[in-house]
């Protein structure tokens, strides 16, 4: 501490949290020579009203806006924020406050935002999901099993014509949702509107031929005005879903899209590409759990949350806790969980967790065992890599879920279901990486 610093003014371990406070939980690693209190005070100061020196402009009345470190337990720091610090309904401003400058402070070697508790008043200023889990199931008329999705591979490169042909095979094979890859938007070789129109014609045909409802998670990610134009096109073509790469597009863009889907009646599938740049490091960044809570608040209908048996890094506990905070009306941390806080969601609908990345039929029983059935399961390479083609690949996924439903092992079920047998023959039960 030197004469001009006031960071420790932001530490008050006797502070009684008010029910109007927004609360953040961080893991903090001080830089060399600093105590955890000094580091925690810096986090609270820089994320509320302070800076590196005392101020001639500071007034006693402004002390009410100071964030307060009210609990320090090892590396875990809990900070209470007066709600007046935040603009209601503005997710970007919230992130700039509690997940902004703090990551760059020299006095802090590492800081990870693990949890954000939203008080009722703050929650009321957000829409939440337009449809939620029940609403999406109602759209597809699918209950009692996971919703299946397949992203066409190669990720990009097929023409719209070729894409539609593969879409027909996948949807006829039995998958519920066709999904664009996160990097397929409006390239020269596959223009957005041409792809949308061709796939919608395929969906009409497959729905007639199978009597099943199908949907298209079409990737509208682009500049915001253009995204709005594409979203309206999607509604014009009669599709009921869109996909947004929410972290690449940005939170304000997502809020804009959430507003316009209200009247258009479209469900938002949130792809989280870019998240691992700041969610993966356990000591620095933002947890996927927090990204998921922010996404539920703004109002996506589905979001990828990782899958412990897939090709992407996924901490089992964090995936399952994230799944719970997305689907439960009143989330309570598991016993022994020191990072997360109780969260009531009031009238904010639940969000469909999406399990994806490296999945194939052999892994599906484990996915359901771990994550349950109220999930979306995306299988891309695990369908498009099937030796007998995409339709067989989709059928093999469907057969795997039939086996799970009937409580029969895949090996047993494969004896009378050749597409599943061929998938097991090719990939067995491997966990790709
Ligand atoms: C999966 C995927 C998804 C990942 C995203 C891909 O394809 O389309 O983008 O699941 O990761 O491009 O890798 P496969 P996450 O089914 O062929 O693996 O779900 O962890 O956000
Ligand atoms: Mg992808």
pLDDT digits (tens, 9 = 90+) for 21-68: 999 999 999 999 999 999 999 999 999 999 999 999 999 999 999 999
Q: Which ligand is nearest to the CA of 356?
A: 1
Ligand 1 pocket check for 358: Cβ under 6 Å: yes
Cα of 32 from ligand 1 centre, angstroms: 39
User: With respect to CATH, is domain 132-427 assigned 3.20.20.110?
Assistant: yes
Q: In this model, does residue 323 exceed pLDDT 90?
A: yes
Cα of 254 from ligand 1 centre, angstroms: 20
Residue 359 CA, chain-centre distance (Å), reads: 18
Q: Which ligand is nearest to the CA of 380?
A: 1
pLDDT digits (tens, 9 = 90+) for 388-433: 999 999 999 999 999 999 999 999 999 999 999 999 999 999 999 8
Residue closest via CA to ligand 1's atom 20 equals 306
Higher pLDDT, 325 or 2: 325
As a CATH number, domain 10-123 is: 3.30.70.150
Compute the distance between CA of residue 383 and CA of residue 405 in angstroms, rounded to an integer.
20
Q: In this model, does residue 377 exceed pLDDT 90?
A: yes
Backbone angles phi, psi at 191, to 5 degrees: -70, 140
Angle subtended by helix axes 390-406 and 160-173, to nearest 10: 30
Ligand 1 pocket check for 139: Cβ under 6 Å: no
Q: Which ligand is nearest to the CA of 358?
A: 1
Query: 307: pLDDT confidence band, cut at 50, 70 and 90?
Result: very high
Ligand 1 pocket check for 357: Cβ under 6 Å: yes
Atom of ligand 1 nearest to the CA of 358: 18
Spatial CB neighbours of 286, under 8 Å, sequence gap ≥ 6: 99, 112, 113, 278, 279
Cβ atoms of residues 127 and 347 within 8 Å = no
Ligand 1 pocket check for 353: Cβ under 6 Å: no
Cβ atoms of residues 142 and 215 within 8 Å = no
Compute the distance between CA of residue 18 and CA of residue 68 in angstroms, rounded to an integer.
11
Torsion of CA 197, 301, 219, 298, to 10 degrees: 130
Ligand 1 pocket check for 356: Cβ under 6 Å: yes
What pLDDT, on the 0 to 100 scale, is given for residue 138? 98
What pLDDT, on the 0 to 100 scale, is given for residue 1? 54
Ligand 1 pocket check for 431: Cβ under 6 Å: no
Compute the distance between CA of residue 111 and CA of residue 27 in angstroms, rounded to an integer.
5
Cα of 356 from ligand 1 centre, angstroms: 5
What pLDDT, on the 0 to 100 scale, is given for residue 379? 98
Atom of ligand 1 nearest to the CA of 153: 17
Residue closest via CA to ligand 1's atom 10 equals 357
Ligand 1 pocket check for 386: Cβ under 6 Å: no
What pLDDT, on the 0 to 100 scale, is given for residue 255? 98
When pLDDT is averaged across residues 315-334 and rounded to a whole number, the result is 97
Cα of 396 from ligand 1 centre, angstroms: 19
151 DSSP β-pair partners: 179
Atom of ligand 1 nearest to the CA of 381: 17
Ligand 1 pocket check for 272: Cβ under 6 Å: yes
Instruction: Give the residue range(s) of CATH 3.30.70.150 domains in the chain.
Output: 10-123
Cα of 69 from ligand 1 centre, angstroms: 38
Instruction: Output the six-digit token pair for 318.
Output: 């964090």
Residue closest via CA to ligand 1's atom 8 equals 181
Q: In this model, does residue 272 exceed pLDDT 70?
A: yes
Atom of ligand 1 nearest to the CA of 310: 18
What pLDDT, on the 0 to 100 scale, is given for residue 207? 98
By DSSP bridging, strand 76-81 and strand 68-73 are antiparallel
What pLDDT, on the 0 to 100 scale, is given for residue 5? 87
Backbone angles phi, psi at 350, to 5 degrees: -75, 160
My answer on whether omega of the bond before 97 falls inside 30° of 0, hence cis, is no
Instruction: Output the six-digit token pair for 401.
Output: 């879920």
Cα of 384 from ligand 2 centre, angstroms: 13
Cα of 317 from ligand 2 centre, angstroms: 23
Cα of 379 from ligand 2 centre, angstroms: 10
Calculate ∠ Cα 223-351-376, nearest 5°: 90
What pLDDT, on the 0 to 100 scale, is given for residue 390? 98
Instruction: Give the residue range(s) of CATH 3.20.20.110 domains in the chain.
Output: 132-427
Residue closest via CA to ligand 1's atom 12 equals 181
Q: Of 271, 358, 380, 382, which is best to mutate to test ligand 1, by the most ligand atoms within 8 angstroms of its C-beta?
A: 380
Quote the mean pLDDT of the chain. 97
What pLDDT, on the 0 to 100 scale, is given for residue 3? 76
Question: What are the residues whose beta carbon lies below 5 Å from ligand 2 (ion)?
Answer: 181-182
Active site residues: 153, 271
Q: Which ligand is nearest to the CA of 312?
A: 1
């Amino acid at each position: 501490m030197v004469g001009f610093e006031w960071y420790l003014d932001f530490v008050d371990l006797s502070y009684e949290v008010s029910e109007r406070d927004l609360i953040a939980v961080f893991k903090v690693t001080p830089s060399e020579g600093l105590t955890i209190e000094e580091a925690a005070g810096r986090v609270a100061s820089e994320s509320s009203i302070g800076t590196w020196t005392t101020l001639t402009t500071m007034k006693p009345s402004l002390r009410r806006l100071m964030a307060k470190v009210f609990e320090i337990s090892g590396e875990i720091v809990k900070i209470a924020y007066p709600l007046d610090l935040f603009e209601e309904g503005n997710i970007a401003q919230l992130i700039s406050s509690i997940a902004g400058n703090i990551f760059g402070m020299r006095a802090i070697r590492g800081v990870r935002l693990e949890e954000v508790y939203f008080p009722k008043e703050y929650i009321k200023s957000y829409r939440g999901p337009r449809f939620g889990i029940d609403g999406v199931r109602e759209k597809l008329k699918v209950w009692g099993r996971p919703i299946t999705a397949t992203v066409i591979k190669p990720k990009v490169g097929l023409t719209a014509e070729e894409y539609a042909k593969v879409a027909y095979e996948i949807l006829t094979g039995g998958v519920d949702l066709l999904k664009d890859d996160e990097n397929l938007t409006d390239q020269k070789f596959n223009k957005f509107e041409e792809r949308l129109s061709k796939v919608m014609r395929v969906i009409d045909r497959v729905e007639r031929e199978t009597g099943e409802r199908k949907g298209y998670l079409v990737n509208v990610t682009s500049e915001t005005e253009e995204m709005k134009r594409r979203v309206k096109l999607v509604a014009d073509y009669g599709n009921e879903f869109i996909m947004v790469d929410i972290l690449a597009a940005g939170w304000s863009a997502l809020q804009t899209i959430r507003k316009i889907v209200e009247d258009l009646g479209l469900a938002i599938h949130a792809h989280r590409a870019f998240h691992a740049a700041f969610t993966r490091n356990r000591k620095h960044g933002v947890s996927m759990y927090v990204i998921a809570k922010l996404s539920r608040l703004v109002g996506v209908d589905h979001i990828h949350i990782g899958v412990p048996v897939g090709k992407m890094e996924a901490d089992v506990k964090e995936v399952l806790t994230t799944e719970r905070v997305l689907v439960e009306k009143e989330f309570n941390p598991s016993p022994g969980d020191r990072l997360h806080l109780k969260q009531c969601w009031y009238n904010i609908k639940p969000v469909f967790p999406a399990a994806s990345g490296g999945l194939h039929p052999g892994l599906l029983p484990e996915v359901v065992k771990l994550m349950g059935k109220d999930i979306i399961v995306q299988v891309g390479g695990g369908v498009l890599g099937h030796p007998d083609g995409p339709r067989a690949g989709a059928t093999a996924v469907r057969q795997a879920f039939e086996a799970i439903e009937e409580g029969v092992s895949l090996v047993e079920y494969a004896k009378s279901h050749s597409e599943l047998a061929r998938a097991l023959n090719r990939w067995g039960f491997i966990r790709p990486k």
